Amino acid sequence: MKFLLFSQCGEGAQILKRIELEGNEVGLFIKDKLYSTVFDGLLPKVEPDSFVDKDTVIIFDMSGNGKIADMYKRQGLLVYGASEFADKLEHDRQFGFDAMQKAGIKIPGFKGFTDFKAGMEYVRKSNKRLVFKPSGTMPCKLTYVSKDSEELLAYLSFVEQHFNKEIESFILQDFIEGCVVSSEFFCNGNGFMWPPNHTVEVKKSMNDDLGPSTGCSGNITWTCEESSKIVDAGVAKIKFLCASENYAGQIDLNAVVNESGVYGLEWTPRFGYDATPTLLTLLSSDFGEFFHGLASGQLTEAEFFKKDAGGIRITIPPYPAEPQPNQDSEKFSPNKGVPIQNYEKHSESLYFFEVCSQDGTLVHSGGTGVIACAMGLGDTPEECLEEPYKILEKLQVPDKQYRTDLAEVLPKMIKETLKYA
C-alpha cells in the first residue's frame, strides 16, 4: 500500500515511520517551514501533487487543512483525518457548541464575545467563576480557568493588551466542578468504529500543576469494552452527524463529568497528541491496515489489547514556549542539533516528535523542543507508567525535562472518573 502524511508540523511522522516499517511505500510532507527538518534522514520527504495517485491513502495529522482534504475526497482519493467540517468543530467554538446541543449533549453555560470591554463588563456583572477560551488557532496556553472574577479581569486585561489582534472572538464559560475526561471514536466515513476509548491527561508543564498549559504533559488511555455512561451521554450522540458528513478520522469530546452528568467542553476531531500514539500501542493490527480500513470505510471494528496505556512527554528548552508567526527557526530553536542517546533499546516505546538523523546520529531537528513521548502498557494505571519513567531516566538528552509526579496524579484522575463511567 501507499501512504502520504500531509502534516502541519510533523507530529504524525512516527506513525508514518511505523507504516513504512510494515513494508508500505510512504511519503512525508510538512507544511510549516519551522518544522521542515523534522524526520529528515528518517522518512522520504515529498511534494503531495507529485506523490499522490489513485492508490494513495492520504493521512492528515492536524486540523486546519480541511479544504485540501475535501479536495482530495472529491477526486475520489482515500483520505483520513481532516475535513472542513472537522476544522469548524474544533476552531469555531459556537459551531462546536451548536453541534453538541443539537445532538443532545449538555454543555456549561457560556456567552460569546468579540470585544474585550464587553467581556470584562460581563465578568463584573456575573461575579462567577468563569473559564476564558479564545476561538480559532490561538495557543492553548491562553485558555484560562480563573479562581474568581477579579483574577479573570486582570487576566483579560493582559490578553487584550498582548493578543487582541490575534483573537477574533472568545467565550466566557461557567466553571463546572468535576473530572475532565476525553472520549473518542474512530470514524470510517459511514459512522463509528468500535470500540471507543477514554483518555485522561495533564496539561500543566510542571509538577503540582504549576507552569503554563501545554498540549499534553502526560496521559493514560484505554478502550471501552462495554457500554460507558460517559460515552453514551457524550461523544456517541454525534455519530449520525459524522456519518452525514462522511467524516473519516477521529472525533473526541473533551468533557467534565460529575453526579449531574456529562458536560461537553470542546471537540478534537484529529490525532490527539500524545493520546493517539499512546492509544495505538494497544492496537493489535498493522497501522497501515488500520488507517486504510478507516479511510476506505471497510473497518467497522478493531482489536485492542485490554490494558491501560500511559505516555509521558520529554522536552528540552525553549519548550513550552511557542513561536510567533514567521519567526526565524534558527533563533527560536537554539538547541537544534542536540544529540539524543541511549534510546535504541527502547525505540518501540518512544514516540519521537522533533527529531532527525544527522550523520547517522539522532538529534533534535528544531522546533519547540518536544523530543518524544515515552509509552508503556500495564494491567493497572500505575503499572502502565512504570516503563515510561524507566525509559526517561535512562534517555540521554541535555537539559531534558518532564513531570515526575504523574504516577500519582493520573491514576488518581482515573479513579475519580470511573465513578461516573
> What is the model's pLDDT at position 327?
62
C-alpha grid cell, residue 406: 504523574
**Res 225 pLDDT > 90:** no
> What is the model's pLDDT at position 164?
85
Q: From CA 401, how far away is CA 365, in angstroms rounded?
A: 17
**Res 138 pLDDT > 60:** no
**pTM score, two decimals?**
0.93
> What is the model's pLDDT at position 246?
97
> What is the model's pLDDT at position 335?
84
C-alpha grid cell, residue 158: 493582559
What is the CATH class of 109-174?
Answer: alpha beta
**Res 49 pLDDT > 90:** yes
Geometric angle at alpha carbon 17, from 284 and 332, rounded to 5°: 125
Q: Which pLDDT band holds residue 168 (cuts at 50, 70, 90)?
A: confident
Q: Which pLDDT band holds residue 215 (cuts at 50, 70, 90)?
A: confident
C-alpha grid cell, residue 398: 541535555
> What is the model's pLDDT at position 93?
86
Query: Residue 375 pairs with which residues in a beta bridge?
Result: 311
| pLDDT above 70 as % of the chain | 96
Residue 177 half-sphere exposure, CB side, CA atoms within 13 Å? Answer: 3
CB atoms within 10 A of CB 415: 12
Please state the rounded mean pLDDT for residues 12-18.
Answer: 98
Q: What is the pLDDT of residues 329-363, one digit of tens each?
A: 666 677 889 999 999 999 999 999 999 999 999 99
Instruction: State the amino acid at position 81 in one-letter form.
Output: G
Q: Where are the domains of the chain?
A: 2-86, 109-174, 308-420
> What is the model's pLDDT at position 166?
82
Query: Residue 257 pairs with which residues in a beta bridge?
Result: 179, 262
> What is the model's pLDDT at position 330?
63
Q: From CA 10, how far away is CA 7, in angstroms rounded?
A: 5
Q: What is the pLDDT of residues 271-312, one digit of tens each?
A: 999 999 999 999 999 999 999 999 999 999 999 999 999 999
Q: What is the pLDDT of residues 31-40, one digit of tens each?
A: 998 899 999 9
**Res 184 pLDDT > 80:** yes
- CATH number of this structure's domain 2-86: 3.40.50
> What is the model's pLDDT at position 321?
84
Please state the rounded mean pLDDT for residues 206-235.
Answer: 93
Task: Report whether the peptide linkage leading into residue 320 is cis, meaning its omega lies within 30 degrees of zero.
Answer: yes
CATH 3.40.50.1820 fits 308-420, yes or no: no
